[in-house]
Amino acid sequence: MKWEHLDRDHNILFPSDFRDFARLYGAGLIGDYISVSVPDSGNRFVDLLQKSRDFVATLYGVRETLPTRMSYTLEPRGGGLIMWAANEDGDLCFWIVEGEDPDLWRVGIYSRNLNNWSEYSCGFVEFLVGVLSGAVESPFYRSDFPSKPITFKTWRTHLDELFAEN
């Protein structure tokens, strides 16, 4: 992944913990439930920037129905949101883009079935580790998440498994 190209062409500097995760794992599925996207993946279905634009627009459309006030913009810049993951229940995971240092961006979660917006004062990896370890209460709709053992599947592996079943 060419981070410099993304920084230059999209004017977005991604958090370092996410860069490390993307470098090690790429796009994929955590616990057969959370689908993590990466930018410039070469696949529009898992490309973070394309999916983020689509899902931020969806969230913007329902924000008036949320019990918690949400006033972020559609732009992936100051005061906006960038989506980094989703799941099969329609829950969406975002960075709340505030300030110049992306390592200080907080996490926001929209739970579609619970019609709820939650914010966490931590970054991408700290949030995932907290939810997966049980240290942070899961904001996701599925009550059996995370199941043990916790797995990660690249999208290529996941698709290969799906096609092998059919």
Question: 57 is in which domain, residue-wise?
Answer: 3-165
| Residue 130 confidence (pLDDT) | 95
Q: Is 63 helix (H, G, I), strand (E, B) or coil?
A: helix
| Residue 26 confidence (pLDDT) | 87
Q: Could you identify the residue written with the tokens 């960075």? A: 95
Q: Each residue of 68-93: pLDDT tens digit?
A: 666 676 666 677 888 899 898 989 89
Q: Each residue of 2-26: pLDDT tens digit?
A: 667 666 666 778 899 999 999 999 8
Report how many domains make up the chain: 1
What type of residue is 20?
Answer: D
Kindly list the strands in the beta sheet with 34-36, ordered across the sheet, starting from the edge strand earlier in the chain.
116-120, 106-111, 92-97, 80-87, 34-36, 28-30, 152-154
Question: What confidence tier does 115 reach under pLDDT thresholds 50, 70, 90?
Answer: confident
Angle ∠(62,64,68) on CA atoms, nearest 5: 105
